[in-house]
Chain A
Amino acid sequence: MEQDLQNHQKNKVYQLNAVVKLIFILLFIVFVNLTPIRAYKAFFLYFLFLITIIFIAQIQYSIIIKRTILSLPFIIAAVPILFTGYAPYETFMIIPGIEINFSIIGVQKFISIAIKSILSIQAAVLLTITTPMPELFAAMESIKVPQLFVSVISLAYRYLFIMRDEVIRLNRARKSRSSTLLDKRRSGGSLWWRAKMAGGMLGNLFLRSIERSDRVYSAMLSRGYSRVGVQSKLYSRSLFKNELYILFVGIILILIIWTFAMLIG
């Protein structure tokens, strides 16, 4: 994905002010979720809209699909409404002798939840792919997310990969000492022992992180750190007129699709 970012640095969608993208995507998700069930034509229009932007941004759709699939297992939570929704019911025969009642409304709702979920995830993926994180954080600050929180989360993002490497190293060290002898006796220790060791690794990570944060703090002080977000100054810029125009058109289009949905729904 980093490669994608490089390939598309010059792309218009990537260059667009993060504030525009953030507001647009949030509204897109809100209105998709406000769309009544069975408004399949509207869902299709939302999808067309999204796919158009994805096309303009020249993103491989397969990347977006991959990320969408990761979130799909949650759909299990909605499976019961297939059967427990309101009457009328439709009876299907699975194999001779075994019949299942489906609630028609339940099925419609299930489909609508799945569609809304997929549209929302893809919109969110689009935002993440086309917006460098620091810009996204700066945009959060411009839409009045508390600055202190934005500073915390930007710093967390900076250290995420370092922390991941620490965890990988801890895991390697544990793995390389987890061996069995040839006589195939029961290995692995007790459940509590295994948990205690994993907990020890976690405690180790935690303590080292607290110490690391002291060093980060000293480094920040030595560079004349003040809490005024350095982040936002570096990465935010005011909206150009044409960007405001793009945002305006985007919102209007979402509203048109939604109104259409309310009319047919």
Chain B
Amino acid sequence: MTAIIDIHDLSFSYPDGRQAIKNITLRIQTGEKVVLMGPNGAGKSTLLYHMNGVLTGTGKIIIKGYEVKENLSFVRSLVGLIFQNPDDQLFSTTVFEDVAFGLIYQGLDINLVSERVKLALEVVQMAGSEDRNPYHLSTGEKKRIAIATVLSMHPEILILDEPTAGLDPRGKREFIELLKKLPQTMLIATHDLDLAEKVSERIILISDGHIRADGSTKDILLNKDLLEKHGLY
């Protein structure tokens, strides 16, 4: 089995000189659901933004055989990136337009677009909300629509940044169920231990831009010393 995500020696520094991630090497297999854990400022988001080239550092990332930097535009159709704040992702007047954004950009036929939007909304249990205004949705609904905006593009990988932040307990429970149901390969950044336990089989722990641990969810969640050392417990 080949890795769908293959990261080799990735480093990135922000323009102000702050180094966010250092020499990260990592492989993720098709269908794996991996949680990326780490304290605030560990470099989690920075690493995620590299997966579809929103940021580009030094080193190599190969997604399904395609080197990201050389196939930016295509890789973005394979990798759906869901940001922490759904408001950043929703800027249309109707849910339909937001979910259709990626498809219209790709130049797909409008009938195909409608069909795919409908399906994506069904998957996130928001069927029939095409004409609603995204601005007036609840946080939980916005998160679902944010996922639909990338699901409609039929990505093979979902990248989620702090997906449960700001959700109430029931919203979170439902959201975790949705993530478990989706078949895509997932890389989820979070410091929500509950989410990690329920969704993932594997946890990668990063801190100060370095990978500190990489193992099964069970092993890592039981290692309280390790979690405490990195401010997660």
Contact = CB atoms under 8 A, between A and B. Distances in A.
Indicate if A touches B (C-beta under 8 A): yes
Given A172-B54, A172-B83, A173-B83, A180 B91 contact: no
Interface in A11-30: none
Nearest to A176: B81
B221 to A, nearest CB: 30
A193 B54 contact: no
Given A177-B101, A188-B105, A203 B73 contact: no
A157 B80 CA distance: 35
Interface in A62-104: none
Interface string A165-195: 0100110111111111110011111000100
B89 A173 contact: yes
B85 interface: yes
A110 B83 CA distance: 51
Chain A interface extent, by class? 20 to 34
B92 A200 contact: yes
A178 B76 contact: yes
A203 B92 CA distance: 9
B40 interface: no
Contact of A200 (B79, B80, B85, B91): B91
Nearest to A167: B88
Nearest to A196: B92
B90 A179 contact: no
A179 B104 contact: no
A169 B49 CA distance: 11
Interface in B86-121: 87-93, 101-102, 104-107
A178 B102 contact: yes
A259 interface: no
A193 B90 contact: no
Contacts of A208: 87
Nearest to A178: B105
Contacts of B75: 179
B135 interface: yes
Given A176-B52, A179-B74, A197 B107 contact: no
Nearest to A193: B104
B95 to A, nearest CB: 13
Given A173-B89, A200-B91, A203-B91, A181 B77 contact: yes
Nearest to B16: A2
Contacts of B92: 197, 200
A179 B83 contact: no
A185 B91 contact: no
B101 A170 contact: no
A189 B85 CA distance: 25
A200 B87 contact: no
Contacts of B79: 176
Contacts of B76: 175-179
A170 B73 contact: no
B74 A186 contact: no
Nearest to B52: A176
Contact of A186 (B80, B85, B107): B107
B91 A197 contact: yes
A190 to B, nearest CB: 9
B149 interface: yes
A1 to B, nearest CB: 10
Nearest to B84: A169
B73 A179 contact: yes
Contacts of A203: 91
Nearest to B102: A177
Contacts of A189: 104-105, 107
B220 to A, nearest CB: 28
A261 B189 CA distance: 66
A174 B73 CA distance: 12
Given A172-B54, A177-B76, 11 more contacts: A170-B88, A170-B91, A172-B49, A176-B76, A176-B81, A177-B81, A178-B102, A179-B74, A179-B153, A189-B107, A200-B91
Interface of A: 166, 169-170, 172-182, 185-189, 193, 197, 200-201, 203-204, 207-208
18 contacts: A166-B88, A174-B101, A176-B81, A177-B105, A177-B150, A178-B105, A179-B75, A179-B77, A180-B77, A180-B107, A185-B106, A187-B107, A188-B107, A189-B107, A204-B87, A204-B135, A207-B135, A208-B87
Top 9 nearest A-B pairs (CB, nearest first) are: A179-B76, A200-B91, A179-B77, A177-B102, A176-B81, A180-B73, A169-B88, A173-B89, A201-B91
